[in-house]
Amino acid sequence: MRLIRAHVDLPLEVGARIALPDAAAAHLVRVLRLREGDACVLFNGDGHDYAATITVAGKRETQVEIREARVVDNESPLRITLLQGIARGEKMDLILQKSTELGVARIVPVESERSEVRLDAARMDKRLAHWRSVVASACEQCGRARLPEVTAPVPVAVAGAQAGDATLRLTLDPGGARTVASLPHAMSGGIALAIGPEGGWSPRDREALRTAGFDGLRLGPRILRTETAGLAAIAALQSRDGDLST
């Protein structure tokens, strides 16, 4: 039986009756056609799934009663921060969606010299809201109850600061000295993985990353597209030391 999950940006607790936000209500009632008495699962990113029952399924309002809370423990032991050169439209959505499914903890969109997407302030706010919505939808599907953080875009020159306390900093580079097999197994301090945009990193971008402590990582004999590169690297890291190895 399919588990119907919906993300809501609201405090949730057992016994509460709440009105669902418009987006969640539309998904559950108008798209999935749930009715009064039907069950669903809500989550708000606090690490729990909340079993709920729809009590009102009206055109103007949808209400639920929360019956039970369950801890969800399916986060990866690897804390991976993906610094992703901003890609166009559906490519960026795909990267966000699939990296969320693969267990990435944080996503930092990066503006670089060769980025094909340039966002002014108004477009950036809308795009950031859209990206966070994509991540929430991916969590609904894959069963995560903690949402990966999606930050506002930053220039590549400050990527090092956005890498946080990552003890391993990598950027994909066909000529890189490191391979996945050569990486240390003790990576409790986290991993920062920088992936260039469609046009790749420029020489100045690469120098900025080197200055920030990023090493080149070689990932096989072929050059991968931006929408493939990060996902392949995350999957390789998770298979070696994360929860894809179990």
Characterise 106 by phi-psi region: left (phi > 0), alpha (psi -120 to 50), beta (else).
beta
Structure confidence at residue 199 (pLDDT): 87
Phi, psi (degrees; rounded to nearest 5) at 210: -60, -40
Q: How many CA atoms lie within 13 A of 220 on its CB side?
A: 10
Domains of the chain by residue range: 5-71, 80-245
> What tens digit of pLDDT does each residue of 125-147 get?
888 999 999 999 999 999 999 99
DSSP-assigned beta bridge partners for residue 64 = 18, 54
Angle between helix axes 89-101 and 121-142 (nearest 10 degrees) is 40
Residue 57: strand pairing partners: 62
Q: Which CATH superfamily is 80-245 part of?
A: SPOUT methyltransferase, trefoil knot domain (3.40.1280.10)
**pLDDT value at position 1?**
52
DSSP state for residue 95 in the 8-state scheme: H
Predicted TM-score (pTM) of this structure: 0.92
User: What is the pLDDT at residue 244?
Assistant: 86
What per-residue confidence (pLDDT) applies to 193? 96
Residue 59 carries which DSSP code? Answer: S
Answer positive or negative: Cα dihedral of 133, 11, 76, 110: positive
Helix, strand, coil percentages (3-state) for the chain, rounded to 5, are 35, 25, 40
Kindly report the CATH class assigned to 5-71: mainly beta
Read off the pLDDT of residues 55-101 as tens digits, 9 standing for 90 and up: 999 888 999 999 999 999 999 999 999 999 999 889 999 999 999 99
Instruction: Say whether 80-245 and 5-71 share the same fold.
Output: no
* Summary mean pLDDT of the chain: 91
What is the CB neighbour count within 10 angstroms for residue 205?
25
Residues of the chain with confidence (pLDDT) below 70? 1-2, 119-121, 186-188, 246
Interatomic CA distance for residues 86 and 64, integer angstroms = 38
Return the structure tokens found at 222.
């072929």
DSSP state, residue 137: H
Q: Rounded to an integer, what distance in angstroms lies between the CA atom of residue 126 and that of residue 148?
A: 18
Q: Confirm if 182 and 143 have CB atoms less than 8 A apart.
A: no
